[in-house]
Amino acid sequence: MDIFGAMDIGYSALRAQTLRLNVIGSNLANMETTRTPEGGAYRKKSVVFTSEQNSFARELENSSQQQARGVRVERIMTHQGEGKMVYEPSHPDANEEGYVEKPDISLVEQMTDMMKARGSYEANVTSIKAAQRMAMKALEIGR
């Protein structure tokens, strides 16, 4: 793998982790949302990653090598489970028994995911900077 390939992989991971952080932020912002345009309480979302695919021509070109590809977001998955029922008879969205369906989103789980995404983001920034330093050193050797 060349230096630019390493940077491309790092950049793809940065894009993926940025989207992951945005989805986590959306989950945190909607922890108390009981009414959505689709109806019902907000449903937790999560990001599904997959390996980035090379073009067919590039695959043929690199068929004898193990080529790293990077990562991309395959989809944003909406969880379909039931929300948690909370007794709040004065809430405008309460049912006949006084229960309101609220999103089943754990603050601790979301904050843990956010810390992991931030750590992954920082690790990829470090790898990109290391590849840039190597490229600069190669240029200095060439002088």
Instruction: Find the domain containing 73 and state its range.
Output: 3-31+45-78+105-141
Q: Is residue 95 part of a domain?
A: no
- 96 domain residue, yes or no: no
When divided into structural domains, the chain yields a total of 1
74's enclosing H/E stretch is strand 71-78
Query: Is residue 111 included in any domain, yes or no?
Result: yes
CA 67, distance to chain mean position in Å, is 23
For 88-136, what is each residue's pLDDT tens digit? Answer: 999 998 999 999 999 999 999 999 999 999 999 999 999 999 999 998 9
In a domain, 68, yes or no: yes
Q: Give the dihedral sign, CA 50/56/58/61.
A: positive
Q: What is the pLDDT of residues 62-89, one digit of tens each?
A: 655 556 678 889 999 999 888 899 999 9
